[in-house]
Amino acid sequence: MRLILLGAPGAGKGTVAKLLTQLDGSVQISTGDILRGAVQAGTELGKKAKEYMDRGDLVPDDLILGIMEKRFLEPDCQKGFLLDGFPRTIPQADALKKILVKLNIKLDMAVNLEVPREVILDRLSTRRTCVNSSCQAIYNVKSMPPKVAGKCDKCGSEIVQRADETEAAISKRLDTYNEKTAPLIGFYKKEGLLFDVNATASDTVVNAIKRKIDGI
Ligand code: ADP
Ligand code: ZN
């Protein structure tokens, strides 16, 4: 399948994407994971992106588009992809449309994960992420704690609160989402690709997407 996952920070795009990859071998492409990997590795991209990310601002469109143009050419995209965190602005959505036309790729849909703001705030402040850049597993101190406190179940690395998950950065990310990313809902509605789902529980979302895809 070829999907865009839309939704506020904390809506569960990453969790849903991971569950969907298990269905048909489609690959999860998370621009947030790619950027955090680059920051950790200290690459040029990482150096440029870090200050924006820590503040809860979006990284400039040209950096993101540079990453994504190359990413679509990797062979693992052939089976399908789940875009998690991209596009995030109208210019990114316009650019994506052009890239996909050029590569002759058709999207199935843009899934909009709808979650009440209180749930989002609670999830983000209790979320913990594995520091290992090739793992980046997600936990929640309340609802999904690791087996050993502070350690990743999958790889044993430390799990931490992300730099952009302080209260100030979270509130900034939500504002940024409302201002820059929420307009994409209208964009994909116009394209006839929008699918709204109540995303309070991730497995319900996966089932709704499965049914919708099978119906198409
Ligand atoms: P979340 O969806 O929880 O906010 P992500 O892991 O998707 O987190 O992104 C973390 C940060 O990485 C964002 O706050 C932003 O700074 C940067 N980022 C990720 N994807 C994009 C994008 N498509 N465009 C601009 N910045 C991005
Ligand atoms: Zn891990």
- Is residue 45 one of the residues assigned to a domain? no
User: Best substitution site from 164, 165, 175 to test ligand 1's pocket, by max atoms within 8 Å of Cβ?
Assistant: 164
Q: For the chain, give the longest Cα–Cα distance.
A: 48
- 215 CA to middle of ligand 1, Å? 31
Ligand 2 centroid to 129 CA: how many Å?
Answer: 8
Catalytic-residue membership of 162: yes
- Mean pLDDT (the chain) is 94
Whether 200 has a pLDDT exceeding 90, the answer reads: no
Q: Does residue 101 surpass a pLDDT of 80?
A: yes
- Residue 212: how many CA atoms within 13 Å on its side-chain side? 18
CB atoms inside a 10 Å sphere around CB 129 = 21
Domain membership of residue 206 as a residue range: 2-26+79-116+176-215
Q: Is residue 87 part of a domain?
A: yes
* Distance in Å, CA 46 to ligand 2 centroid: 20
Q: For residue 56, is it within any domain?
A: no
Banded model confidence at residue 100, pLDDT cuts 50, 70, 90:
very high
> pTM, whole model, 2 decimals?
0.88
Active site residue 106: no
Per-residue confidence band for 216, with pLDDT thresholds at 50, 70 and 90: low
Residue 138 lies in a domain: no
Split into its structural domains, the chain has a count of: 1
Q: Is residue 170 part of a domain?
A: no
71 belongs to the catalytic site: no
The arithmetic mean of pLDDT across residues 190-202, rounded, is 93
Residue 160 pLDDT > 80: yes
Active site residue 128: no
The two structure tokens encoding residue 216? 């198409």
- Say if 91 falls within a structural domain: yes
What local confidence, expressed as pLDDT, does residue 70 receive? 94
**Amino acid 177: pLDDT:** 95
Across the range 118-144, mean pLDDT stands at 91
Pocket test for ligand 1, best of 36, 50, 53 (most atoms within 8 A of CB): 53
Residue 203 confidence class, pLDDT cut points 50, 70, 90: confident
Task: Tell me, yes or no, whether 44 lies in a domain.
Answer: no
CATH of the domain at 85: 3.40.50.300
* pLDDT at residue 165 greater than cutoff 90: no
Q: Hey, which residues does 170 pair with through a beta bridge?
A: none
Evaluate whether residue 126 is within a structural domain.
Answer: no
Residue 105 pLDDT exceeds 70: yes
